Every structure is written in C-alpha cells, then in structure tokens.
Amino acid sequence: MGAGRFTLEATMRKTTAVCALLVGVFATQPALGEAGRESLLEAWAAYVAGLPGTKEFEQVGDGNYRIDDTDLPYAGEIRIVGALVRPAETGGVQTGFSHFGMVDFELVELPVERFSSQSYYYWLSDRQTLYYSADEQRWVDPQSYQASLAESYDFGGSFGVLSFMLNYGIWVLLIALILFVFIGVNRQAKKSRALMDETAAINRQARENLDRAASMQDEVLAIARDSRDLQIESNELLRRLLDASQR
C-alpha cells in the first residue's frame, strides 16, 4: 500500500510539473484570439522577452516590467503608457492582416539626454508595433509581417525596388532634380557664352568698319585739301596770265 501511495504521489508530481510546463510555454507564446488591447499587450510582452538583445524581462506590477536589454543598452523598469489597436488600412488589397497595434511605453530609469539619441529611436521603433494576422489569429512582429507580405504576393525584385524607393526615393528624386538643374544651367551658360562671343565678333567688326571709315574720311579730306590747293594755284596762274596779256 505504501508503494501504491508512492506511485500515486509521483504521478501527481509529474502531472503538476507537466501542467506548469504547459502553462509556461503558452505564456511565452503570442496571444491568440481577437485583436484587442489585452491580446496585444500579452503578445508584446512575449515578443520583447524573446528578442535576442533581451537578457531579462519580468513583470513586476500592473503594466510595469523589469528589463535587461543589451541592444540599447538598458537595465531598469519599463512602464506601459498606453496601447492602441486600429484596423489595418490596406487600400482594398487582401493582405491577411486585419489590425495593427502600437504599445506606448517609457524607460523609467533611462537618462533624459539619451532620449534624443538616434539609437534610442531605432530601438524603440522595433519594439512598439505589432500586426494581427487574421489567418493565424495572432499578433506578429514587423519582421514576420514584412516576410509574410513578400511571401504572399511574391513581390520578389519588385518588392525590393519598392522598399528601396520608400527608403531612398526622396534622395533619388533630389539627385535627379539637381542633375536636371545642373544640365539646364550648363546649357544656358553655353548659349550665353555663344551669344557673348557672337556679340563680341559683331562689335569687333563694327570697330574695324568705323576705323576703316575714319581712315577713308581722312583720305577724302586730304584729297579735298590737295584739290583746293591746286585750284588756288590754278587761279593764281590764270591771274598772272591775264596781267601779262594786258601789258
């Protein structure tokens, strides 16, 4: 009878251990069910706890957690400020994702000067938004969301081009605009230089014509003076001839 009681107690201990293990496993999985605030917070906690940079993540109160994160890095308290769940806007395209959720939280013990750092904003953006898969009935992280879209629609190279344009399109347009303006200004500058060269040639030819006209005018004046002198001499010679004939 003692052996039977021992076997029963051992079985109960094993059953209790298995139940505790199952509860622990399901507690670390993203919450299933409807896309609501509670399921979002549960999925968010499981997501943050499972990130490679998270060394410790423990709930210490209602909406308060203790985290040791090596990515930021930060070791201290996280306080949930709010959670927002909204229908996903897909523009009529069937994506399989019905909602997106955003968890707003603050790092209580993070120094104020670190809130303005770029690394903090990158770290924060990776941990705030989740997407609800209506097909799988669970919240998924941004990486899984992007991978699911690419796999569902087989975007392939076009998705890479779209992603590139979304990230760097403004720079491509800016560079194209600068090149367009540069080429236009260069063409106008060439036209202006050509017009200036043509104007300079016309002015040079005009100066040469003026110089030639001035030279010809001097020659005409010299010929006129010579003609006047000859006329005077001729008149004087005729006067003398008349005087000589009268005598």
The last residue of one of the domains, among 91, 125, 154, is 154
Has residue 36 got a pLDDT over 60?
yes
Beta partners for residue 213, in sequence order = none
Q: How far, in Å, CA of 182 to CA of 24, rounded?
A: 64
Domain annotation covers residue 55:
yes
| 3-state SS record for 32-79 | ECCCCHHHHHHHHHHHHHCCCCEEEEEEEECCEEEEEECCCCEEEEEE
36 and 67 inside one domain: yes
150 and 243 inside one domain: no
Torsion angles phi and psi, residue 131, rounded to 5: -125, 140
Helix 142-153 and helix 157-246: axis angle, to 10°? 80
14 and 130 inside one domain: yes
Mean local confidence (pLDDT), 223-240: 82
211 and 126 inside one domain: no
Buried b (16+ CB within 10 A) or exposed e, 87-116: ebeeeeeebbbbbbbebebebeebeeeeee
Domain annotation covers residue 2:
no
Domain annotation covers residue 49:
yes
The last residue of one of the domains, among 107, 139, 154, is 154
126 and 27 inside one domain: yes
Please tell me the predicted confidence (pLDDT) of residue 206: 81
Report if pTM > 0.85. Answer: no
Task: For residue 135, give the nearest of 114, 117, 151 by alpha carbon.
Answer: 151
Q: Which helix (H) or strand (E) holds 231?
A: helix 157-246
181 and 138 inside one domain: no
Name the residue range of residue 244's domain: 161-247
Please tell me the predicted confidence (pLDDT) of residue 1: 45
108 and 166 inside one domain: no
Q: pLDDT tens digit string along 171-210?
A: 778 888 898 888 988 888 888 888 888 888 888 888 888 8
147 and 176 inside one domain: no
Structural domain count, the chain: 2
Percent of the chain with pLDDT over 90: 30
Non-local CB neighbours of 108 within 8 Å, separated by 6+ positions? 76, 77, 78, 79
Please tell me the predicted confidence (pLDDT) of residue 226: 82
43 and 113 inside one domain: yes
The last residue of one of the domains, among 154, 181, 204, is 154
Q: How far, in Å, CA of 242 to CA of 240, rounded?
A: 5
Domain annotation covers residue 246:
yes
Residue 152 or residue 229, greater confidence: 229
Task: For residue 55, give the nearest of 42, 43, 66, 41 by alpha carbon.
Answer: 66
Domain annotation covers residue 117:
yes
Domain annotation covers residue 204:
yes
Has residue 233 got a pLDDT over 90?
no
